[in-house]
Amino acid sequence: DVKVTQSSRYLVKRTGEKVFLECVQDMDHENMFWYRQDPGLGLRLIYFSYDVKMKEKGDIPEGYSVSREKKERFSLILESASTNQTSMYLCATILGASYEQYFGPGTRLTVT
Amino acid sequence: AQKITQTQPGMFVQEKEAVTLDCTYDTSDQSYGLFWYKQPSSGEMIFLIYQGSYDEQNATEGRYSLNFQKARKSANLVISASQLGDSAMYFCAMRGGNSGGSNYKLTFGKGTLLTVNP
């Protein structure tokens, strides 16, 4: 059974804290993605990685960075969390003949 | 740049009836892929169906079918015989270009919230 796991389902952090969101996949795929989901806005791509140590900005990278030291792990970093980063964060990798994305369960982050 | 438009923020359907969720797209790529995902209230994203731009037939997966009209740039999801468990948010998404590298990334629409009434 394939798995994409995210380190936390719910997270509460204070403004200014450094926040790490971790994602681990067991599908041995090169591609991994981080999205944020906000009501009325759908999913927006923050960063993605197509190989170890390779990363590319998505549509809304400001305020975020990423790390991919190993193929199975892709971390999203909020260097100094702000209240406008309160959101649902979803990690994904590629699975299947159609190269559809397979998502983790999500992390609901609240920044107070 | 790619764009996905879902014009129906919310839809209601009676149980056992069919429903169509609209999706239009914009891209300059000749080769692209279109996806539909379901997100129940529990939050997980569930892949439903895929249509490639060169596929001549509309995709079908059980009760789901994708009404692909390339000239109109539309990729509507049709759910037949709706069930209460179909109540969820539905997202249309697009992948552009050829396979590999950055072309695996998806652009999502804003979603349609479907409510199935008993």
With an 8 Å Cβ cutoff, are A58 and B105 in contact? yes
Q: Does A40 touch chain B (CB under 8 A)?
A: yes
Q: Cβ contacts (< 8 Å) between B33 and chain A: which residues?
A: 98-99
Q: Any residues with CB less than 8 A from the CB of A1 and at least 6 apart, and which?
A: none
Query: How distant, in Å, are the alpha carbons of A78, A99, B23, B49 from that of A81?
Result: 6, 33, 34, 36
Q: What is the pLDDT of residues B62-109, one digit of tens each?
A: 999 999 999 999 999 999 999 999 999 999 999 976 555 556 889 999
CB A111 within 8 A of CB A89: no
Q: How many CA atoms lie within 13 A of B110 on its CB side?
A: 9
Could you tell me the pLDDT band of residue A75, with boundaries at 50, 70 and 90?
very high
Please report where in the chains the tokens 């179909």 appear, as a residue: B86
With an 8 Å Cβ cutoff, are B44 and A88 in contact? no
- Which of A41, A45, A56 shows the shortest C-beta gap to B110? A41
Q: Cβ contacts (< 8 Å) between B110 and chain A: which residues?
A: 40-42
- Which of B50, B105, B108 shows the shortest C-beta gap to A42? B108
A21 strand-pairing partners: A76
Query: How distant, in Å, are the alpha carbons of A86, B48, B58, B95 from that of B26?
Result: 30, 21, 19, 11
C-alpha A46/C-alpha A58 separation (Å) is 5
Q: What is the pLDDT of residues A57-67, one digit of tens each?
A: 999 999 999 99
With an 8 Å Cβ cutoff, are A98 and B52 in contact? yes
Q: What is the pLDDT of residues B39-70, one digit of tens each?
A: 999 999 999 999 999 998 999 999 999 999 99
Q: Cβ contacts (< 8 Å) between B47 and chain A: which residues?
A: 96, 100-102
Query: How distant, in Å, are the alpha carbons of A16, A40, A64, A103, B6 from that of B113?
Result: 34, 10, 29, 19, 11
Closest CA to A35 of A7, A64, A68: A64
Nearest CA to CA, how far is B19 from chain A (Å)?
A: 21
